[in-house]
């Protein structure tokens, strides 16, 4: 293998695939990045067995040469050093040459680096995925749906399915749901797919979706998504992102969502967020994060929290709308802040069915988004 | 005590003094910020017994009212919550009122906060410092001198004096020295003080100097420095910064500095830094940080490092000047990088007196700065 390649193009591809490298690889070869060179271009691959990322650098783009291939071939290079040295090389071009026993020479300007390469045959083969179940969605919509749901996923590995986000597709409606049993986030969107195409119980780890989200380009390009038996593949331009689905059945969450409300509020999202943020500072000192919401007579609500050692925060907010029964309810301020930070609407609707029943939070300007928070049972 | 004060002015002063608050205060009252209100203004004080910081907010500045004092008084408020809540208050003005048993009301817009205040009489009194030994220096010079020396201070608390920076003043020459026995940093400057005024063995903790440095304003104002028996006080505009000196005698470091050289090099600082940075990446994998420097015949030097598992980095750099004997020497690449990052000169002089003797590094354009690094004894 022998090639000369643009340092910046190589570095960009390395940064993309490096996200799949575990700090404690299951087998030593997975601590490396596989490099496959053909006359068409250079493919980098990294994997931690749960996720695998592949990035392709073509030899030319828009009639500009990116790489000059003298001799095709493959090698695996230890990732930690390789990731850092490439971006620090002195010249804009990098020459890479693999000799006997995968001894690799990297040259750039006055730098001369020898690396002990590994046998690419030892690198696991990526799953082959049949493209019969492909659908597409805009990259920024995918990012938004991830951001608006992952917050409610569990971080407790004991119930593995709840550390994931449930994906279903039915009647062209794509839906994401996440819950840790104390709160629930749901987001759906219409997608331009074959109306016959559907899937259910596709569960993808929330932390995988956060990593995927970082790889989605800012430009609003379409992402190809292929759902196979136990794998999902995402095609983001020149990058392929593979993830395993989480095993198990996701619980039925439809029953915990109330359909009617006894008290309905509409408030300004930012005013509520700022008030709860201040109450949160006090509640955090008590390690409970409990804040209380009380409806007042004059179309306003009071948010408060208290700490025996520190004191008390009391906030008053005007309600844009207040209908139904007066209410006193306590909930986890951190959970509410997480929701208010990702709702991109100026005003929100909050529906209550009593002090012991789930709280529903929705944007006022569309119905794609819905959150549920279970209240605290307190005596005050 | 009762006053109304600008939120931003109060917040700025809080952020300044908050640096003196320990996360584990020696006595509970030191987990608080003391607030003293007079008709002249508001003084905030915080202390962790090693350092104390005081910030004064005048009632008006440039004919603009900053605070309106209804009733003077004092209180101590728990810092952690107070520091965070003030910056998040909804209005530009904050009303603070202290009632019976130091119960404190904080009001701003729709926020109403009650805090459990503490008795200001319990707060330790700051040391009284006689101003007989005052000198002045420009703030940016003080920052530079700190930045160029703290890197060589020890982090090992076992030899407490070496965790500090030694300050001496003699003949209007202020000198800072720091060493951890493996390397030494020295920086001096001429100051416009009384030629009769002098001090020696003033040792100030390096981490204290780093905190002080953050409080020195960007504008090039003069800093007043008062050296007392076992305390040093810095006056930075409206902020007073007190620190205790470290106890003990600083070792004599003059003998380890060679006066003549067998090999002299002048190289471009950035070229050398970048080359050593790449060699460091490889040396770090071996956990030794060892790099080797070899003079070559053609007025250039070679920097290299190797790792049995990973491979080898070799870098070649042109010398602007090369005089004396050929040389092979090994040293800690991290120590050399620390020096190269703080030398603000385009070219540096490196002087050697043999592979086992201290390496001297100096800027080429002035003589205020000098660094010493002890080489590694290696057989290769």
% of chain A surpassing 70 pLDDT: 99
Does pLDDT of B133 surpass 80? no
Q: What confidence score (pLDDT) does residue A229 get?
A: 86
Q: What confidence score (pLDDT) does residue B379 get?
A: 54
Give the nearest partner residue to A81 out of B78, B113, B285, using CB atoms: B285
Contact of A281 with chain B, judged by CB distance below 8 Å, is answered with: yes
Beta carbons of A116 and B311 less than 8 Å apart: yes
- CB A139, CB A217: distance < 8 Å: yes
Beta carbons of A310 and B88 less than 8 Å apart: no
Mean pLDDT of the region B302-311: 94
Chain A residue whose CA is closest to B317: A110
**Whether B137 and B117 share a structural domain:** no
Does pLDDT of B28 surpass 70? yes
Does pLDDT of A69 surpass 60? yes
Beta carbons of B277 and A112 less than 8 Å apart: no
The kind and range of the H/E element at A53 are strand A51-58
Q: What is the CATH number of the domain that holds B277?
A: 3.10.150.10
Residue B251 lies in a domain: no
Q: What confidence score (pLDDT) does residue B145 get?
A: 98
Nearest CA distance, B206 vs chain A (angstrom)? 31
Residue A127 lies in a domain: no
pLDDT tens-digit profile of B39-68?
999 999 999 999 999 999 999 999 999 999
Residues in B touching A85 (Cβ below 8 Å)? 278, 281-282, 313
**Whether B198 and B268 share a structural domain:** no
SS3 for A146?
A: helix
- What is the secondary structure of A1-20 as a DSSP string? -EEEEEHHHHHHHHHHHHTT
Give the nearest partner residue to A311 out of B84, B90, B116, using CB atoms: B116
Q: What confidence score (pLDDT) does residue B203 get?
A: 98
pLDDT tens-digit profile of B235-282?
999 999 999 999 999 999 988 888 899 999 999 999 999 999 999 999
- CB A364, CB A286: distance < 8 Å: no
Chain B residue whose CA is closest to A316: B110
Residue A129 lies in a domain: no
Cα(A227)–Cα(A174) distance, integer angstroms: 13
Residue B340 lies in a domain: yes
Q: How many domains does one find in chain B?
A: 3
Give the nearest partner residue to B311 out of A111, A114, A309, using CB atoms: A114
**Whether B158 and B94 share a structural domain:** no
Contact of B48 with chain A, judged by CB distance below 8 Å, is answered with: no
Mean pLDDT of chain B: 95
For tokens 């955090």, the residue is: A284
Interface test with A, best of B91, B108, B113, B267 (most A CBs within 10 A): B113
pLDDT classification of A255: cutoffs 50, 70, 90: confident
Give the nearest partner residue to A310 out of B110, B115, B309, using CB atoms: B115
Nearest CA distance, A160 vs chain B (angstrom)? 35
- What is the secondary structure of A310-359 as a DSSP string? TEEEEEEEE-SEEEES--EEEEEHHHHHHHHHH---SEEEEEES-TTS-E
Which is more confident, B90 or A192? Answer: B90
Nearest CA distance, B26 vs chain A (angstrom)? 18
Contact of B277 with chain A, judged by CB distance below 8 Å, is answered with: yes
Residues in A touching B88 (Cβ below 8 Å)? 274, 277-278, 281
Residue B94 lies in a domain: yes
Structure tokens at B342: 């703080």
Tally Cβ neighbours within 10 Å of residue B343: 18
Cα(A308)–Cα(B72) distance, integer angstroms: 27
Domain final residue pick, A244, A265, A286: A244
Mean pLDDT of the region B8-19: 97
Contact of B115 with chain A, judged by CB distance below 8 Å, is answered with: yes
Residues in A touching B277 (Cβ below 8 Å)? 88
Contact of A274 with chain B, judged by CB distance below 8 Å, is answered with: yes
Beta strands, E only, A83-221: 93-98, 103-108, 111-116, 134-138, 164-170, 173-179, 183-190, 199-205
**Whether A275 and A236 share a structural domain:** no
**Whether B277 and B307 share a structural domain:** yes
Residues in A touching B115 (Cβ below 8 Å)? 310-311
**Whether A221 and A281 share a structural domain:** no
pLDDT tens-digit profile of A131-189?
667 899 999 999 999 999 999 999 999 999 999 999 999 999 999 999 999 999 999 99
Give the ipTM of the model, two decimals please.
0.89
Residue A116 lies in a domain: yes
Contact of B314 with chain A, judged by CB distance below 8 Å, is answered with: yes
- CB A114, CB A139: distance < 8 Å: no
Mean pLDDT of the region A339-352: 97
Contact of B313 with chain A, judged by CB distance below 8 Å, is answered with: yes
Name the residue range of residue A89's domain. Answer: 2-122
Interface test with A, best of B104, B117, B275, B281 (most A CBs within 10 A): B281
Mean pLDDT of the region A8-31: 96
Domain final residue pick, B69, B91, B122: B122
**Whether A15 and A96 share a structural domain:** yes
Domain final residue pick, A185, A220, A244: A244
Contact of A302 with chain B, judged by CB distance below 8 Å, is answered with: no
Contact of A315 with chain B, judged by CB distance below 8 Å, is answered with: yes
**Whether B238 and B155 share a structural domain:** yes
SS3 for B17?
A: helix
Beta carbons of A113 and B310 less than 8 Å apart: no
Beta carbons of A274 and B84 less than 8 Å apart: no
**Whether B12 and B114 share a structural domain:** yes
Nearest CA distance, B112 vs chain A (angstrom)? 5
**Whether A142 and A110 share a structural domain:** no
Residues in A touching B113 (Cβ below 8 Å)? 278, 282, 311-314
Number of residues in chain A: 380
Residue A128 lies in a domain: no
Beta carbons of B311 and A282 less than 8 Å apart: no
Beta carbons of B278 and A111 less than 8 Å apart: yes
Does pLDDT of B147 surpass 90? yes
Beta strands, E only, B117-211: 134-138, 164-170, 173-179, 183-190, 199-205
Residue B345 lies in a domain: yes
Residues in B touching A281 (Cβ below 8 Å)? 81, 84-85, 88
Cα(B30)–Cα(B169) distance, integer angstroms: 34
Does pLDDT of B378 surpass 70? no
Q: What confidence score (pLDDT) does residue B258 get?
A: 87
Residues in B touching A84 (Cβ below 8 Å)? 281
**Whether A64 and A108 share a structural domain:** yes
Contact of B30 with chain A, judged by CB distance below 8 Å, is answered with: no
**Whether A151 and A111 share a structural domain:** no
Beta carbons of A278 and B111 less than 8 Å apart: yes
């Amino acid at each position: 293998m022998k090639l000369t390649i643009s340092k910046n193009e190589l570095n960009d591809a390395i940064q993309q695939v490096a996200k799949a490298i575990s700090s404690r690889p299951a087998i030593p070869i997975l601590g490396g990045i596989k490099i496959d060179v053909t006359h068409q271009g250079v493919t980098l691959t990294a994997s931690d067995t749960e996720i695998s990322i592949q990035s392709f650098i073509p030899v030319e783009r828009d009639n500009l040469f990116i790489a000059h291939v003298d001799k095709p071939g493959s090698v695996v290079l230890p990732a930690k050093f390789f990731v850092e040295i490439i971006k620090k090389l002195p010249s804009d071009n990098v020459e890479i040459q693999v000799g006997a026993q995968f001894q690799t020479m990297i040259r750039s300007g006055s730098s001369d680096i020898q690396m002990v390469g590994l046998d690419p045959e030892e690198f696991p083969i990526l799953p082959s995925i049949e493209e019969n179940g492909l659908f597409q969605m805009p990259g920024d919509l995918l990012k938004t749906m991830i951001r608006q749901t992952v917050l409610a996923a569990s971080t407790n590995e004991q119930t593995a399915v709840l550390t994931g986000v449930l994906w279903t597709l039915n009647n062209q409606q794509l839906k994401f749901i996440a819950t840790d049993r104390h709160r629930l986030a749901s987001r759906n969107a219409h997608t331009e797919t074959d109306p016959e195409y559907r899937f259910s119980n596709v569960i993808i780890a929330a932390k995988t979706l956060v990593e995927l989200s970082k790889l989605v380009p800012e430009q609003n390009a379409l992402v190809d998504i292929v759902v196979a038996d136990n794998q999902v593949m995402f095609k983001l331009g020149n990058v392929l992102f593979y993830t395993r689905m989480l095993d198990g059945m996701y619980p039925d969450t439809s029953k915990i969502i109330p359909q009617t409300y006894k008290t309905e509020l509409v408030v300004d999202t930012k005013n509520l967020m700022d008030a709860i943020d201040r109450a949160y500072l006090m509640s955090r000192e008590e390690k409970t994060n409990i804040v209380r919401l009380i409806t007042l007579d004059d179309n306003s609500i009071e948010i408060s929290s208290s700490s025996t050692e520190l004191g008390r925060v009391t906030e008053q907010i005007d309600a844009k709308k207040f209908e139904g029964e007066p209410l006193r309810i306590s909930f986890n301020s951190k959970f509410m802040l997480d929701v208010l930070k990702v709702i991109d609407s100026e005003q929100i609707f909050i529906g209550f069915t009593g002090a012991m029943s789930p709280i529903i939070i929705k944007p006022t300007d569309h119905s794609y988004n819905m959150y549920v928070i279970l209240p605290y049972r307190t005596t005050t």
